[in-house]
Amino acid sequence: MTFQPDIDSETILSGRCDWLGKDAVETLSHHVVESIETEFPHHARSLDSPAGHARPKKQHPVFYGCYDWHSAVHSHWALVRQLRLFDEHPVRSEIVDSIDTRLTIQNVEREVERFEENGSFEKPYGWAWLLRLASELTLWEGNRATEWKSILEPLERKIVELVESEFLTQTRPFRVGTHQNSAFALLCILDYARTISDDSLEAAVSDTATEFFTDDRDYPVEYEPLGWDFLSPTLTEADLMRRIFDRGEFITWIDDFLPDVTVSPHKTILEPVQTASDPADDLALHFVGLNVSKAWSLAGVADALDGHRYAEIFEQSAGRHATSGLAHAFTENYAGSHWLSSFVVYLLTRHEGGIAPE
């Protein structure tokens, strides 16, 4: 499956979706629609006993698909965002019917119960995406969005409660390129707080981010990527702090935070990670996602650095990453197809509300 390979990087990085045609929109939803109802294969995580493990659909009757809970959540986010942005979505009825079937009062009650049984489940990555989904429903005006948001609200409240009691109280950040990355969770929660105008939560997130990252200096960018990264610890942190500081403060901070990325070995952070040509290579699919997420981080940081010596360099790098990521994101390998389309939606629509809102 291809995705309009003739589109230039400037259009891709615009963060606007008015250039996307019907075929492109259908491509964005194709794997997502299939995956949200695909119960198996599924990542069951650790088991506490040899007793039979409950089926994903029983444990998580809303978010049981897409191999794992967090992927199911951000896949729902990607579809709801598409419904909001594309009035004439080619598979609108199919998406609505699918979500309607799962998003019921009883099913959400079971999802809440799961977090009452295990308060650390999907901390913090899944929590961050759940709040993105909730904020997307806030942005989308209409009866359908109002109904879905009302049904989801008990789970939204539970996740906010856990964020405040179990995440924002941490004493140190996790600087990794995978699900435990603290900066990514913080920027998602911050976007949520600003979207729904929760000043108290916004202040708490800003305080935590400031405590965690203000004093970072000379970050070892040459060590990336590490293992199975799909986020850049360096660029994700910068993407968070551009939301925290005003422009002058951010420029001062990033000049201390980054080494000179125009020289070796530091300039490797500006180049897309090479991915294997083998479609069965699961590690390569993580690197496809890494290139897409680096593209949105680089583009966002470039916007914040307007006029700075790195602004144009970062924008050009974002274009290379976006082109590389989009070329491989629409794989038929389920190890990538169950999550990569959501990352593409994030990149292509980053200026359509809810992402780094003012």
Over 80: is that where the pLDDT of 71 sits? yes
Average pLDDT for 40-56? 78
Q: Which of 194, 315, 183 has the alpha carbon at shortest distance from 257?
A: 183
Over 70: is that where the pLDDT of 46 sits? no
pLDDT value of residue 236: 99
Q: Which of 187, 156, 182 has the alpha carbon at shortest distance from 169?
A: 182
pLDDT value of residue 295: 98
Q: For residue 82, give both structure tokens.
A: 């598409």
pLDDT digits (tens, 9 = 90+) for 276-324: 666 668 889 999 999 999 999 999 999 999 999 999 999 999 999 999 9
Ramachandran region of residue 181, left (φ > 0), alpha (ψ -120 to 50) or beta?
Answer: beta
**Residues whose CB is less than 8 angstroms from the CB of residue 56 and which lie 6 or more positions away in sequence, other chains included:** 39, 40, 42, 44, 64, 65
Identify which has the larger pLDDT, 61 or 49: 61
CA dist list (Å): 324 to 28, 182, 288, 294, 348: 17, 26, 8, 11, 14
Identify which has the larger pLDDT, 338 or 1: 338
Q: Which of 162, 181, 161 has the alpha carbon at shortest distance from 231?
A: 181
Instruction: Tell me how far the alpha carbon of residue 77 is from its chain's centroid.
Output: 9
Report yes or no on whether pTM surpasses 0.85.
yes
Mean pLDDT for all residues in the chain: 95
pLDDT value of residue 59: 94
Average pLDDT for 262-267? 97
pLDDT value of residue 31: 97
Over 70: is that where the pLDDT of 1 sits? no
Classified as helix, coil or strand, 150 is: helix
Average pLDDT for 179-183? 98
Q: Are 216 and 257 in contact (CB under 8 A)?
A: yes
Classified as helix, coil or strand, 30 is: helix
Over 80: is that where the pLDDT of 246 sits? yes
Identify which has the larger pLDDT, 123 or 276: 123
**Residues whose CB is less than 8 angstroms from the CB of residue 272 and which lie 6 or more positions away in sequence, other chains included:** 291, 294, 320, 321, 324, 325
DSSP string, 310-349: THHHHHHHHHHHHHHHHHHSS-S-HHHHTTHHHHHHHHHT
| CA–CA dist 229, 283 (Å, integer) | 9
- Whose tokens are 């989308």? That residue is 140
**Domain 10-40+56-348 adopts which CATH fold?**
Glycosyltransferase (1.50.10)
pLDDT value of residue 253: 98
pLDDT digits (tens, 9 = 90+) for 73-98: 999 999 999 999 999 999 999 999 99
Query: pLDDT-based confidence at 47, cuts 50/70/90?
Result: low
pLDDT value of residue 52: 63
